[in-house]
Structure 1
Amino acid sequence: MDNKKSIAPGVCFCFALAVIAAFLGRQFPLIGGPVFAIIIGMIIRNTMGVPGFAGTGIAFTSKKILQWAIIALGGGLSLGQVWQAGAESFAVMVTTLCSAFVAAFTLGRLFNIPWKLTSLIGTGTAICGGSAIAAVAPVIEADDTEVAYSISTIFLFNVIAVLIFPPIGHLLGFADSSFGLWAGTAINDTSSVVAAGYSYSQAAGEYATIVKLTRTTMIIPIAALFALFTALHKRRTNSGSGVAFSLKKLIPWFIVWFLVASLLNTAGIISGPGADYLTKLGKFMITMALAAVGLNADFRKFVKTGVKPLLLGLAVWFVVAVTSLIVQSLTGQL
């Protein structure tokens, strides 16, 4: 009971910030609630400071509620939709995914950026922005500052993409399906993909959304690969110390339940209003979690990190956008 009481004030504080952020996100959809949440949290942390009573609950929200949000989002994702668009988008999706990670780790090493931050920026750019970062962060044991910086970086380029992609598409005369495939593979956050797609055309918006859903499922294998890498790294680190290491403890249980929820959606057990409710709930919980992440982000650490991660995010995003167009051109889809 005492533990619940110590958690409750911080959770309620994050809930209140998420309500404000969600409202602002509806007023300014190009920015979105999650961006407002993390910005509000960061402003509070670095001006007036975090209330002492909220610390435990903020930590709980940034970790546990974030994981539950990923599971809820899985309930709104049908694997049948993934299969429907898979054949058409598979080559572009896999190529852009690989190019994102190759660019991220190559440039990350060149810029001397910590591998956890590099991994988060690469994952967010390759898959689906904040949700992918949220899924991978606890697997690689990234701290809140790394999560906050990577999400801020990714969302910055999301906003830019929404503004510049449609004019570029019209200028180059893209077909609706071509633009939808480009937006679905080269823009990170789902809301930004939908905004860019539907601002181009109705057909482009529908196709971009399906491609984005396909891309989102890559969270599962990528998180599993990071879990395996982290396990092997820990095993090597502890190999001579006599410390027992359990791979089972590192299995990302919330990703497993994300898959279970998606399978339930596909089977029709979760459908219609239920799926819509879980999607909305998951997005709001993500907003709560990102408010907590912002509350744990210290600008002094940002200053130490420097501008290099921002340049890394820009470079990886550019590589993904160009790779998507090249693959479409080579496969006759452009």
Structure 2
Amino acid sequence: MSARRLLPGLFALCIGAIAARAIALAGGPNHLLVAIALGFVLENAVGVPERLEPGIETHKLWLGAGIVLMGASLSLGTVLDVGGLVLLVVIGVAGVTLVVVETLARNVFGVADRLGSLLAAGASICGVSAVVAVAGSIDAREDQIAYAAATVLLFDAVTLVVYPIVGDLLDLSGIVFGVWAGVSMFSTGPVVAVGVAHSEVAGQWATMTKLARNALIGVVVLGYASYYARSGTGDRPSLRTLWSEFPKFVVGFLALAALASAGAFSAAQQASIENAYNWLFLLAFVGLGTEIRLAELRTTGTTPVVVVLVSLLVVSTLSLAVLTVLF
């Protein structure tokens, strides 16, 4: 795609990012939450003009780049001290979420098998990305993909508001809040947004925890593909397919964290990197706000929402209780 097609949308992201920072400096809420709100208003009150769409769609690139740069602010020593424990929590919560959603969908609410699987993947791993990845391996219908994706996006919007409120009411520490958001919220963008909005420490732990959870996508895709292949209703994915679904920015994040721990960056360089990833997040979250479309959310069926809501309440409550004991 030519740079000329991208420039109008990129310019819009920049204007939104600058406006969000200005509003926050003037005494408004956190700049990242303001950025999401500005994108949401643009999409739902005005509508994104067609000429802006190519540039605005690059917001996922800026999010990935910001996450990679955030690795430079982490100390691997701190991560290693509690990293094994956090990894166990990530695997445990992801597994419980998947089982709870599948059980509710199939045995309580009578949701179609494939739709239930898409909801389980989206809720347990990485939101819409997991829905799309699993859908391709189990031959899900387009309407099932749409229902599952809309349900995930609905809860992304809700948790963006609810989690910061709960964090403030319970006066959660940065580590507890960050890990809690990372293991129980759905999509990467909202997790990073609420984490950074809480505190720098929460932002780092929310990002690291969510990346560990995202890395499980290959296991989940392979598991679902194998299950449906055995039943004669799906195809086994290739290694190339699994690698294509793996979030590559995890590698970059860990690489910069290793370099930072080895003393590769001076204090001034780390400050510059931090400023850079904050601006990249602003660009990304303006674009993220445009992904929350009220018209699409209204088409979400009631049953998928109830299934995911019950699961979220159970998993978020249990995981928060465990984390407050552990940390």
TM-score, scaled to structure 1: 0.67
* Runs of at least 5 residues in structure 2 that lack an aligned partner in the other structure: 136-144, 183-190
Of 35, 38, 42, the residue aligned with 2:36 is 38
> Does residue 293 in structure 1 map to residue 298 in structure 2?
no
Measured against aligned partners, the alpha-carbon deviations of 1:247-275 in whole angstroms (never above 9, x if no partner) come to 35444333322332222223222453433
Q: Name which of 269, 282, 290 aligns with 2:277.
A: 282
The structural deviation recorded for 1:55 is 1.5
Q: 2:81 aligns with which of 79, 84, 103?
A: 84
Q: 1:75 to 1:119 in 2, by over 3 A?
A: farther
**Partner amino acid, structure 2, of 1:62:** H
Deviations 1:285-329 (A, max 9, x none): 233223223324432211011565387257425433334425766
Q: Counterpart of 1:215?
A: 209
1:266 and 2:261 are equivalent in the alignment? yes
Pair 191,289 (structure 1): closer, same or farther in 2 beyond 3 Å? closer
Q: Distance in 2 between matches of 1:140 and 1:283?
A: 32
How many residue pairs were aligned? 298
Residue 52 of structure 1 deviates from its aligned partner by: 2.6
State the match for 2:124 in structure 1. Answer: 122
Contact kept? 1:184, 1:209, Cα under 8 Å: yes
C-alpha distance in 1, partners of 2:213/2:70? 12
What is the Cα deviation at residue 212 of structure 1? Answer: 4.9
Gaps of 5+ in 1: 124-131, 170-178, 199-204
Following TM superposition, by how much is the alpha carbon of 1:90 offset from its aligned partner in structure 2, in angstroms? 5.9
Instruction: Give the aligned partner of residue 253 of structure 1.
Output: 248
**Are 1:153 and 2:158 matched, yes or no?**
yes
For the 8 Å contact 1:85–1:214, the answer to whether it is kept is: no
| CA shift in 2, pair 1:147/1:292, >3 Å | farther
Task: Give, in angstroms, the shift of residue 182 of structure 1.
Answer: 4.6
Q: Which residue of 2 aligns with 1:75?
A: 72
> How far did residue 76 of structure 1 move?
2.6
Match of 1:20 in 2: 19
Work out whether residues 7 and 55 of structure 2, in 8 Å CA contact, stay in contact via their aligned partners in 1: yes
Distance 2:197 2:70 in 1: 19
2:305 matched residue in structure 1: 309
Cα 1:103/1:267, change in 2 over 3 Å: farther
Q: Could you give the per-residue CA deviations for residues 107-138 of structure 1, whole angstroms, max 9, x where no partner exists?
A: 46556466555534434xxxxxxxx6598688
Aligned residue for 1:102, secondary structure, equals helix
1:322 to 313, 318, 324: 318
Contact 1:99 1:320 in 2 (8 A): no
Question: What pairs up with 1:167-206 in 2 under 5 angstroms?
Answer: 182-188=176-182, 189=191, 192=194
Partner of 1:225: 219
Deviations 1:227-266 (A, max 9, x none): 65688799998859xx998435444333322332222223
* Preserved CA contact (<8 Å) 1:41 1:292: yes
Give how far 1:10 is off. Answer: 0.5
Q: Which whole-Å CA distance do the structure 1 matches of 2:249 and 2:312 have between them? A: 27
* Kept in 1: contact 2:21–2:31 (CA 8 A): yes
CA distance in 2, matches of 1:72, 1:234: 39
Alignment of 1:1-16 (within 5 A): 3-16=2-15
Relative to the length of structure 2, the TM-score reads 0.68
**1:289 maps to amino acid:** A
User: Could you tell me how far 1:282 is from its partner in structure 2?
Assistant: 2.7
Partner SS for 2:257: helix
SS in 2 for 1:218: helix
Q: Alpha-carbon deviation of 1:17? A: 1.3
Matched-pair contact (CA < 8 Å) for 2:197–2:203 = no
Matched letter for residue 20 of structure 2: A
Counterpart Cα distance in 2 of 1:96 and 1:252: 20
Structure-2 change in CA distance of 1:37 and 1:64 (3 Å): same
Structure 1 window deviating more from structure 2 (277-286 vs 36-45): it is 277-286
Q: What is the letter of the counterpart of residue 48 of structure 2?
A: V
Cα distance in 2 for residues equivalent to 1:181 and 1:74? 16
Query: Aligned partners of 2:71, 2:128: CA distance in 1, in Å?
Result: 13
